[in-house]
Amino acid sequence: MSKSIAKKEKRGMYQNVLHQFNKAADVMNLDPGVRKILGTTQNEIVVHFPAKMDDGSVEVFTGYRVQHNNALGPYKGGLRYHPTVDIDAARALATWMTWKTALAGLPYGGGKGGIQIDPKKYSKGELERITRRFTYALGNNIGPDYDIPAPDVNTNSQIMAWIADTFASNQAPGQRFNSFHVVTGKPVVSGGLEGRDRATGFGVVTTIQKWADLREEDLSNKTYIVQGFGNVGYWASHFMKEKGVKLIGVQDHSGTIYNEDGIDPEELLAYATDNNGGIKGFHKADEYDKDTFFGIDCDIIIPAALGNQITTDNAGMIKAQLVAEGANGPTDTDAEQILLDKGIEIIPDILCNGGGVIGSYFEWLQNKRSEIWKIEDVLIKLQDKLEISFDKVIKTAEKYDIDWRTAAYVVAMERLEQTYTERGVFP
């Protein structure tokens, strides 16, 4: 992300989460004890660990893993490598994971973490050593039936393979094979799931299709813009293209581009791959002003980068009908109110990007059962789960006459409230 995009992310993400949580808790009249439990994180692990650099020097890094809640199952959620990773961001992202997994009906809780680092500054060998020492420092704070990390911003299947290998190598010999599912999002040959790479983007488009069906609108007449052209941004664009929706603007860490006649996501990916991952300079589009990107005249906006990107600075200029949150926390709470007042609909992150963790769940099941699933089956099952969640959110929004984000929270929190009510609080 550009410096300005990264700076905005720093503005109290956890505060946003708590605001959203309290709003939903009021609506559903959440049990006061459960409100206290869910209003805080369970464990916060901060590790400082050394790693050797290519020139022989040693650097010390700071890594985080926040475990928000595990009432419904093992902690689950990604690890990101980014300079904005800190305790506030990890708390916020871990809490969102609890809602996300509960909403999707998965047997998981929520966790999140990462390393405060700009991975572009390190060689592949350095990243491997940093990742392995981070995994070692986390020790048994993660585990295949306890806390299961996955890819997030700037982490990928290669990094998951190093984590799995390091974790497994530190288990007793008889436990090694069974400990590989300590992470999901692994390379396919190392037990990864076919389709996990595209699961989040596929899910984003599934929810956009549900929105169009609800409004009885034809997606193929629509235009959209996407912020972030990493895993989520690219795959969402790929599936939007399959539905004939026209991509007219893209923004990433390197620049902002626009073409009213359309940008082909496959050509853009090929360009970015040869260009250090950046879209800047793509020959089939013009450069565009970064500060008015969200004001581009289009039907749908897919923020698929970092948090706090749609703020009071730019919410007023948005002309789109729909914001589909591929990223976690891209809309801050004040901006959300502006959008809702303007009649702009928002598919909230915990629903919109839930395809990723649903894909992770399938991978985990596949590993536990020693099975290998086919991509066609994966995508069908994924679509099915997301459609069920989407319908629940719409029904709940109607029942309480609330916005979709609050409704998504209510669905998630009702499940958690019921669990705590049935089990009670030990002792």
| Interface residue with ligand GLU, options 102, 285, 306, 357 (CB under 6 A) | 357
β 246-251/256-258 pair status: antiparallel
Active-site residue, from 8, 112, 186, 385 = 112
Q: Of 41, 131, 135, 184, which lies in the binding site for ligand GLU, with binding defined by CB under 6 A? A: 184
Closest approach of Cβ 357 to ligand GLU, in Å? Answer: 4
As measured in angstroms, the least distance from the Cβ of 186 to ligand GLU is 11
**Minimal distance, residue 84 CB to ligand GLU, in Å:** 15
Among 9, 128, 147, 152, binds ligand GLU (CB under 6 A): 152
Scanning 350-358, 375-383, 392-400, 413-421 for contacts with ligand GLU by CB under 6 A, the matching segment is: 350-358
User: Looking at beta carbons only, is 230 or 249 nearer to ligand GLU?
Assistant: 230
Tell me: does residue 228 bind ligand GLU (CB under 6 A). Answer: no
Q: In what order do the strands lie in the sheet with 286-287?
A: 286-287, 256-258, 246-251, 223-227, 300-303, 322-324, 345-347
Provide the residue count of the chain.
427
Instruction: Give the nearest distance from C-beta 149 to ligand GLU in angstroms.
Output: 7
Which of 258/404 has CB closer to ligand GLU? 404
Q: Is residue 360 a contact point for ligand GLU (CB under 6 A)?
A: yes
By CB under 6 A, is residue 353 in contact with ligand GLU? yes
CA angle 233, 115, 146 (to 5 degrees): 90
Dist CA 318 CA 326 (whole Å): 17
Q: Are 349 and 325 in contact (CB under 8 A)?
A: yes
- Report how many residues bind ligand GLU under the rule CB under 6 A: 12
* Type of residue at 238: H
- What's the closest the beta carbon of residue 353 comes to ligand GLU, in angstroms? 6
Is 201 near ligand GLU (CB under 6 A)?
no
Query: 186: which 2 tokens?
Result: 């692994």
Nearest CB to ligand GLU, comparing residues 152 and 332:
152
Separation CA 91–CA 105 (nearest Å): 22
Give me the 67-86 binding string for ligand GLU, x by CB under 6 A, dash otherwise: ---------xxx--------
Per the annotation, the verdict on 10 as an active-site residue is no
Give yes or no for residue 402 binding ligand GLU (CB under 6 A): no
What dihedral angle (degrees, nearest 10) is formed by the CA atoms of 204, 206, 212, 218?
Answer: 110
Q: Please report how close the Cβ of residue 100 comes to ligand GLU at its closest, in angstroms.
A: 6
How far are the Cα atoms of 63, 65, 129, 138, 400 from residue 134, in angstroms, in the given order? 7, 10, 8, 6, 44
How many Cβ atoms are within 10 Å of 423's Cβ, its own excluded?
Answer: 9
Crossing angle between the packed helical segments 404-423 and 87-103, to the nearest 10 degrees: 80
Distances in whole angstroms, Cα of residue 308 to Cα of each of 103, 244, 329: 22, 29, 6
Nearer to ligand GLU, 315 or 393 (CB): 393
Q: How far apart are CA 295 and CA 278, in angstroms?
A: 22
Classified as helix, coil or strand, 62 is strand
Asked whether position 356 contacts ligand GLU by CB under 6 A, the answer is yes
Q: Does 330 bind ligand GLU (CB under 6 A)?
A: no
Active site residues: 112
Q: Which residues bind ligand GLU (CB under 6 A)?
A: 76-78, 100, 150, 152, 184, 328, 353, 356-357, 360
